[in-house]
Amino acid sequence: MTKKMDNFIRIIDSNSLFKGSNVVEVVHKGTIYVMRITKDGKLILTK
C-alpha cells in the first residue's frame, strides 16, 4: 500500500527564514504579511 504525501508538512527553521534579521515579509495570494520576532523571541504575523 502506498501512502499519499498530500498531508506532508514542511518544517522550516526560523533561523534560515530570518537569516539574522528580525523581520521578513511573506506574500500570500498577493497580500504582503510581516512576520517579526519579538524581543521575547515570539513570532508575530501581521497584515
pLDDT tens sequence across 1-47: 555 666 788 999 999 999 999 999 999 999 999 999 999 999 999 99
pLDDT at 38: 98
Give the integer Cα–Cα distance in Å for 37 and 16: 13
Q: Where are the domains of the chain?
A: 20-46
Say how many residues make up the chain.
47
Cell reading at 46: 501581521
pLDDT at 2: 56
